[in-house]
Structure 1
Amino acid sequence: MLYSKPRSCDVLVEHGRATQSALPRRFTVCVWNWQKSKQKEWASEFSRLAQAADLFLAQEVRRSPAVKEVMEKTAYHWNGAVSFFSLKGKNPIGVATGCIANPLQVSFAATSREPVFRIPKMTLATLIPIQNAKRPLLVVNLHAINFTGIRAFEKNLRGAAEILLDYNGPILLGGDFNSWNHKRLRLLHCIIRSAGLQEVPFEPDLRSRWMGKPLDYLFVRGLKVLASGVRVTRGSDHNPLLARLEIR
């Protein structure tokens, strides 16, 4: 094996210190997959993005000591869900959500595994307090399963949808959905509609693609989209998404 699996008690991790008691009603979010990140370019790009965003959803986070040090220089409290540990360095790898406010609640789901190595793909859910709001914001950070057929992909998405359908307040869902063919894309949009979410548009659409299809998405419910954009970067093989949102 090239990795080791976390025990159930080791899946959820947290570090960093929040700088605010709640997220403002108008805030900026960044969604970025750090896959194949180059340390120097990634660190400088991430630092700039973190200064602009109040909320950060990251996928394929390899939390090495060097990366963790950069993450902890931000104004965020970080929560993560670990898929596996690298054998070299024992670094936790998975998804991570950073926010200027501490979450009220954190949970994870791992409904599907990649074939061959059986690596679980994580869905991380956090409830974030909002200033002068009746309900907190449900933030779901998802890295969808990749090298499988449509049934495993559907199981993965429906596991995330169950979290969304059980919540009546505002929702933000973002991440790398690995929606690289027509079947996956149709299924994604069908499940998103059933949960009452809307897709955040990006124009010009400079999102990273595979087989001509965008991989990264941001969906919302109970939020107004004020502005959105994609930043072209050399810090990763995915371009980060940015959106300015407001609680309705």
Structure 2
Amino acid sequence: MPSFYFLLYLLFIQWQQAVLPEPLPASPFSADSPQSCAALLAQPSEPQSMPLPVSELRLLSWNIYKAAKPELLADLHALSEQSHIMLLQEAITEEALLQLKPHTRFSPGYKGLNQQTGLALLSDWSPQLYCRFYQREPWLRTPKASSISRYPLTNGDSLLLVNMHGINFTLGISDYRQQLERLTGLIKLHSGPVIFAGDFNSWSRARWQLVQGLLSELDMTRVSFTPDHRTRVFDLPLDQIWIRGVTLTSSQTLERTSSDHNPMLMSVHITTEEPGGDKQH
């Protein structure tokens, strides 16, 4: 009997390794750990980087349920026309999905037998830098992905985008806090505008209050929606968007049957000031 349990333990160890994503290829503009991302964020913006060409930015955040429903792609096609940047959770590496926008970055999370899932950044413009890393679920030991991307602005500043799929199955909030603090620690390194979106899995009052406390300390504001069609557990929405340094001009949630979550759409105005003091709108 002991040998049977030892065999099960060995199989569990092998499974833990099998579900982990492959390392990110080496690049001066990408990182695959919070530590290397911090070093990347500390570097000044590249002068040759093209700044965002719009002052009114339209952004989508949506958990797409591993693209399991056949009508999802049609919904994504329609929503891609309404947004400049799409932050997806439970995305897959299907070519038809990743070609919705000209520039794509993928942050792998859980890897099943036949499918890799994770976060996707689909954008009309290439990010200046991109970081991706993961946090293991404390019970299941499966990875949940996070990503950070940076876009230069016309005044020499930059916009930071954070996408997170929050860990889910925990008794307390210590592991959840660790995941959030990794991201808020990186946000602290950035002085410019920030958008933080994703499936926060904020299904308990303790999680909700932790998110509120950590992000409020960074002068970030939670985006509200009316009407609010976000998926709820214990009457708390799982999906959230937080902003800093931009002006919210519109926000909405759309009812869709192609996922177990509903998409969040948001427009923000980015006011930049040229070195001479001229504001661009």
Alignment match of 2:128 (pick from 85, 89, 104): 104
**Contact map agreement 1:109 1:159 (CA 8 A) in 2:** no
Task: Determine the structure 2 residue equivalent to 1:209.
Answer: 232
Task: Determine the structure 1 residue equivalent to 2:221.
Answer: 198
**Contact map agreement 1:101 1:129 (CA 8 A) in 2:** no
TM-score (norm 2): 0.78
Task: Determine the structure 2 residue equivalent to 1:86.
Answer: 112
Look up the equivalent residue of 1:147 and give its one-letter code.
F
> CA distance change for structure 1 residues 7 and 36 in 2, over 3 Å: closer, same or farther?
closer
Instruction: Say whether residues 1:50 and 2:65 are aligned partners.
Output: no
Corresponding residue SS for 2:241: strand
Q: C-alpha distance in 1, partners of 2:113/2:177?
A: 30
Q: C-alpha distance in 1, partners of 2:67/2:257?
A: 8
Task: Determine the structure 1 residue equivalent to 2:274.
Answer: none
> CA distance change for structure 1 residues 46 and 114 in 2, over 3 Å: closer, same or farther?
same
Cα shift readout 1:206-242 (whole Å, capped 9, x = no counterpart):
1111121100011111100001100000110000000
Corresponding residue SS for 2:71: helix
Task: Determine the structure 2 residue equivalent to 1:144.
Answer: 166
Task: Determine the structure 1 residue equivalent to 2:97.
Answer: 70
Q: CA deviation at 1:144?
A: 0.8
Q: C-alpha distance in 1, partners of 2:249/2:176?
A: 31
* TM alignment of 1:101-140, pairs within 5 A: 101-110=125-134, 112-130=135-153, 132-140=154-162
CA-atom RMSD, angstroms?
Answer: 2.1
* Unmatched runs of 5 consecutive residues or more in structure 1: 14-19
Q: C-alpha distance in 1, partners of 2:89/2:253?
A: 16
Cα shift readout 1:166-215 (whole Å, capped 9, x = no counterpart):
10011110000000011010001000101111111111111111121100
TM-score (norm 1): 0.88
Give the count of matched residue pairs: 234
Task: Determine the structure 2 residue equivalent to 1:9.
Answer: 24
Q: C-alpha distance in 1, partners of 2:227/2:79?
A: 19
Look up the equivalent residue of 1:243 and give its one-letter code.
M
* Unmatched runs of 5 consecutive residues or more in structure 2: 1-14, 32-49, 272-281
| Structure having greater relative contact order (Cα 8 Å, sep ≥ 6) | 1
Look up the equivalent residue of 1:32 and give its one-letter code.
W
**Contact map agreement 2:139 2:169 (CA 8 A) in 1:** no
Q: C-alpha distance in 2, partners of 1:160/1:78?
A: 21
Q: C-alpha distance in 2, partners of 1:28/1:188?
A: 24
Q: C-alpha distance in 2, partners of 1:175/1:92?
A: 18
| Deviates most, 23-32 or 116-125 | 116-125
**Contact map agreement 1:180 1:210 (CA 8 A) in 2:** yes
**Contact map agreement 2:133 2:147 (CA 8 A) in 1:** yes
> CA distance change for structure 1 residues 182 and 22 in 2, over 3 Å: closer, same or farther?
same
Q: CA deviation at 1:21?
A: 6.6
